[in-house]
Structure 1
Amino acid sequence: MNAPHTPLTLSVDEIGGRLHDPAVIDVRTPGEYASGHLPGALNIPLDRIRHALPEIRGAAERGDVLLVCASGARSERAGRLLAEQGVRTATLAGGTTAWAAAGHDLERPAACDTRSGWSMERQVRLTAGSLVLAGIVLGLLVHPAFQLLSAGIAAGLVFSALTDTCGMAAVLGRLPHNRPADLDAILTALRAR
């Protein structure tokens, strides 16, 4: 194994016109990726990074690898994980949100290759809202202890905001409808870069 590297964080301005140079890996869920991604980005969700390690290592040996997510938090986590394995990467500060805010275009595939057309944020809002509502209704109709469900979800949302992480998104990201339609094809494309 190679020595660990410190992942670089690059601004939108530093990426600028060099976007065609690095292999761009979007670590969001397929639904988020389909809602808009950097031109040429390949979708390898964060929880599949270890599975794709040989291909990412090979891409890093051939050139630069840029990791991207919505805000930069998940791509930084992916960068640290890859750095522990001796793979040199960079992340885009502010992610696709910063990219779009700077006036750059996002690609949106005409036909979504994922089984979920909902963004992860929308899925989390639906799940959290449903669980809070269920806790309230069950607490009123069945037993007051069910209100602890609503309190637990509220605490989780506060923790999520404070840490810029989301355990619910991590769980939802593992569901079949949030999996890439063909991860093997994505890894083959990464090998070709």
Structure 2
Amino acid sequence: RQRVAMGRAIVRTPKVFLFDEPLSNLDAKLRSSTRREILLLHKRLNATMLYVTHDQTEALTLADRIVCMSMGHVQQIGTPLELYDTPANLFVAGFIGLPPMNLFDVEIRDGKAVCAEFTAELTAHEKDMLAGYEGRTVTMGVRPENAVPGGDITVQVISNENLGQNTLVNGTVGKHKITCKFRDWCSYKYGDTVKVSFNKKHFFDKETTNAIRA
């Protein structure tokens, strides 16, 4: 029915298409193939398309620009990469990305991000960016692929999910839950420990939840 509806719309040569969650009732395989059809249709017709979805995979793969909304309010407008790489606030950071971003409450102290379970070194850029937050608590976000093997932070493994080209390692750092996305095939078991470090970090103001920028 989705294909028929798109065909009827195409023959009318509209300047703007409106898709309201067109793939929500399809199974995973058909959803993937239909998503590719919509992408090719967009390229071929060179028409404006407004696409409403709760599925971030659809948003990230189809969009030239995304409007991320919550409770009727715009949270951020930008390219898929901008929303993923530089989220404007905690909502966007937690909503965009699968698995979601790991979040920790840390105190900025002497050029480090400190919590009870670990201390993360800050880069020179991060130190400058957080200069006004010395002695204050902020929220630090780390995407799963940015928690990399090797370092001083100890993860207690809960589960190990092999996905072929990478592995999701779910665990805890003290009281904090964490998901790490390693490139290699791993065979960790429940109760194992693995040392990690964070090669990229995001910081958010605790009161406003907005991203802290330089």
* Shorter-chain TM-score range: under 0.3
TM-score, normalised to structure 1, is 0.25
Which structure's residues are more often strand, by fraction?
2
What TM-score does the superposition give when structure 2 sets the normalisation length?
A: 0.23
Rg larger in structure: 2
User: Which structure shows the higher helix fraction?
Assistant: 1
Q: Which has the higher contact order (CA 8 A, sep 6+)?
A: 1
